[in-house]
Structure 1
Amino acid sequence: MSKTKYHPASIFFHWFVFVLVIAAFVAIELKGQFPKGSEPRELCKTVHGVIGQLIFLVMALRLIVRLTYGAPKPTNPKPFLASLATAMHWLLYAILLISPIFGLLYFQYGGKEIHFFGLVWPQFVTPNPEMKKLVEGIHEFLGNSLYFLIGIHALAGLWQHYVIRDDTLRRMLNKVCAQTKAGVMNK
């Protein structure tokens, strides 16, 4: 019998990452409203950094859950679209894991300590203004890519739900009744 539902932990981590990414975007966009060097601007950067670290940890857990419990096959029978959906998911996973690493490197190349709920990360790199600028550019590119990819991901889910009328979105909301081979509905 093929898997028809996401594991509850996968669903939780999906929506938790969604909330964290929105919070990270809000914090970094809000930063631009304050003058450079001001306390509110620095607070926005700190909040963004802490949220980025949380995203990394939650994404690592999400990946472990996915590798342990798997994921249901895409519901679209067209192999090209199913392959595209799989590639999109792995690209999102990669960026959501890599972007926080570049954020950490940005702070460390800038010579700043990184705090995470009372802990201080060890210094992995030597402060270097040129590398800080390069890493900042990569981190911003990855963040801007997320805006685009998350938009496509959401539109694809809505398209499958409202146009194709399959159970893709319902599976991620844990509201699916999958049909077995015998035609009996399971919850």
Structure 2
Amino acid sequence: MQTKHYHPASIFLHWFVFLLVIAAFIAIELKGQFPKGSEPRELCKTVHGVFGQLIFIAMAIRLMIRLVYGAPKPINPKPLFTSLARAMHWLMYALLLISPIFGILYFQYGGKEIHFFGLVWPQLVTPNPEMKKTVEGIHEFLGNSLYFLIGIHALAGLWQHYILKDDTLRRMLNKIKAQA
């Protein structure tokens, strides 16, 4: 379904996921400030995990809203930029959904229970230290890829706003109902 502007729920979830990602990155970077096995370090990992689960849920809802209400057509008429923007968005969506799954697998291969607001996830895999290490590497790679993609995404938005002077960024800020 094609629309001329983003649905308000899409805008809210875009910025909500943005804040959750920042919080998850802060929690995991803060973890390194504490000695291995310490309570503060474990707390940082737990907080990071909760933010990851919230990111997964918010992204799943965001994609459902996008499927129901659509997204506006890109403003830039150049097919190359339109294709790059579309690929960038779908790659970020995929990483924001897949990375939390690998985070859950990391904890479960480590034999740890995963709590989410009073609920405990069922054990999906058998604890396995070798798989834990492999999954940890994949999760870290995905997280580092997100750093990179989010940076490009932000720079592209600023480039469109300040250099091209189009309404792409304003549409996501809900400042105008931009023309398609």
Note whether the superposition's TM-score is higher than 0.5: yes
Q: What SS does the aligned partner of 1:164 have?
A: coil
1:179 and 1:148 mapped to 2: Cα distance? 30
Alignment-derived partner of residue 95 in structure 2:
95
Between Structure 1 and Structure 2, how many residues are aligned?
179
Alignment-derived partner of residue 148 in structure 2:
148
Supply the AA of the counterpart residue of 2:132. Answer: K
Alignment-derived partner of residue 71 in structure 1:
71
For 1:130-141, what aligned pairs fall within 5 Å after superposition?
A: 130-141=130-141
Q: What SS does the aligned partner of 2:122 have?
A: coil
Supply the AA of the counterpart residue of 1:156. Answer: A
2:166 and 2:101 mapped to 1: Cα distance? 36
Alignment-derived partner of residue 9 in structure 2:
9
1:177 and 1:169 mapped to 2: Cα distance? 11
Q: 1:177 to 1:61 in 2, by over 3 A?
A: closer
Supply the AA of the counterpart residue of 2:94. Answer: A
Supply the AA of the counterpart residue of 1:151. Answer: G
Supply the AA of the counterpart residue of 2:142. Answer: L
1:179 and 1:104 mapped to 2: Cα distance? 41
Supply the AA of the counterpart residue of 2:128. Answer: N
1:139 and 1:3 mapped to 2: Cα distance? 35
Alignment-derived partner of residue 126 in structure 2:
126
Supply the AA of the counterpart residue of 1:150. Answer: I
Alignment-derived partner of residue 114 in structure 2:
114
For 1:30-41, what aligned pairs fall within 5 Å after superposition?
A: 30-41=30-41
1:169 pairs with 2:169: yes
TM-score by length of 2: 0.98
1:177 and 1:66 mapped to 2: Cα distance? 17
1:44 and 1:177 mapped to 2: Cα distance? 40
Alignment-derived partner of residue 20 in structure 1:
20
1:5 and 1:177 mapped to 2: Cα distance? 6
- Alpha-carbon shift at residue 179 of structure 1 (Å): 4.7
Percent identity of paired positions between Structure 1 and Structure 2? 83
- Alpha-carbon shift at residue 5 of structure 1 (Å): 0.7
2:13 and 2:69 mapped to 1: Cα distance? 13
Higher relative contact order (CA 8 A, sep 6+): 2
1:152 and 1:179 mapped to 2: Cα distance? 24
2:179 and 2:61 mapped to 1: Cα distance? 30
Alpha-carbon contact 2:6-2:171 (below 8 Å) kept = yes
Q: 1:75 to 1:111 in 2, by over 3 A?
A: same
Q: What SS does the aligned partner of 1:51 have?
A: helix
Q: Unaligned stretches of 5+ in structure 2? A: none
- Alpha-carbon shift at residue 176 of structure 1 (Å): 1.4
* RMSD after superposition: 1.0
Q: What SS does the aligned partner of 2:151 have?
A: helix
Moved over 2 A (4+): 177-180
Supply the AA of the counterpart residue of 2:93. Answer: Y
